């Protein structure tokens, strides 16, 4: 069994927290792991947000397993979390699983350009808090006979599809970043950015990224790996 040696206990704890949050939204979640050199990328897709989340993890030494110097597998998020030893800063790679459709369509590796209009991190967190309060208020005002899943979904789509600030980033991506622990208090403006590559938008923070394909742009920029 392949064992990954993470850079330190902090990296291990942050990875465990990320996997736990993914499993909160989907108990059967899968993650795609890509390792090369001293970097491990963990891709997930919490279904509530319809975005890809990417957690970058530092490794203590360049990845190698026999003659293989790269890793690219899709595994159970739950099994990966169970194999994680925070104190030893190690994680065993579980057996591969049949990947969900999203695992075959990842954002491109390069070609990212800065996008304008992203509000400051504090403003992003306030916007998410206000949207959550609005959702709660609007749903509580519904009479019982109208409080159906379809109506709740309609209100959710109305709120979370709004673009933030002067950017093209939908609010659901910011909500995902906060919910997955990427948009933490104290995150500086210089460490947070919005980028585009082909059909993809990517919100980047020091703790992880959220990526999504913009509607209506076809398959431009899609990387099938």
pLDDT in tens, 120-167: 999 999 999 999 999 999 999 999 889 899 999 999 999 999 999 999
Q: What is the DSSP letter of 1?
A: -
Q: Please tell me the predicted confidence (pLDDT) of residue 185.
A: 87
Q: Is residue 37 a contact partner of residue 58, using CB atoms and an 8 Å limit?
A: no
Q: Where in the chain is the domain with CATH 3.10.150?
A: 3-104
pTM: 0.90
Q: Please tell me the predicted confidence (pLDDT) of residue 220.
A: 35
Strands 90-92 and 200-205: unpaired
Closest CA to 43 of 222, 221, 225, 210: 210
The CA distances from residue 2 to 14, 83, 166, in Å, are 20, 11, 45
Encoded tokens for 149: 């899943």
Q: Is residue 174 a contact partner of residue 160, using CB atoms and an 8 Å limit?
A: no
pLDDT < 70 stretches in the chain? 215-225
Q: Please tell me the predicted confidence (pLDDT) of residue 211.
A: 97
Q: Please tell me the predicted confidence (pLDDT) of residue 191.
A: 87
Sheet arrangement for strand 84-85 = 3-5, 90-92, 84-85
Q: Give the domain 3-104 fold.
A: DNA Polymerase III; Chain A, domain 2 (3.10.150)
What residues form DSSP beta bridges with 42?
Answer: 33, 55
């Amino acid at each position: 069994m392949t064992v990954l040696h993470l850079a330190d206990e902090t990296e291990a704890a942050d990875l465990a927290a990320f996997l736990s949050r993914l499993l909160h939204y989907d108990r059967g979640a899968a993650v795609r792991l890509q390792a090369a050199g001293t970097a491990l990328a963990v891709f997930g897709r919490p279904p509530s947000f319809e975005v890809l989340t990417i957690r970058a993890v530092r490794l203590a030494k360049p990845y190698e397993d026999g003659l293989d110097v790269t890793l690219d597998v899709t595994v159970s998020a739950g099994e990966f979390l169970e194999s994680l030893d925070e104190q030893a800063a190690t994680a065993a790679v579980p057996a591969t699983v049949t990947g969900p459709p999203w695992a075959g369509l990842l954002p491109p590796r390069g070609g990212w350009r800065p996008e304008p209009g992203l509000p400051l991190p504090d403003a992003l967190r306030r916007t998410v808090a206000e949207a959550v309060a609005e959702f709660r208020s609007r749903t509580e005002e519904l009479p019982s006979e109208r409080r159906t899943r379809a109506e709740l979904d309609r209100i959710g789509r109305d709120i979370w599809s709004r673009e933030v600030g002067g950017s093209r980033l939908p609010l659901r991506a910011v909500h995902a970043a906060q919910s997955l622990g990427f948009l933490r208090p104290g995150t500086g403006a210089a460490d947070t950015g919005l980028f585009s590559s082909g059909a993809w938008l990517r919100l980047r923070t020091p703790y992880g990224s959220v990526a999504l394909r913009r509607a209506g742009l076809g398959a431009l920029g899609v990387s099938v790996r």
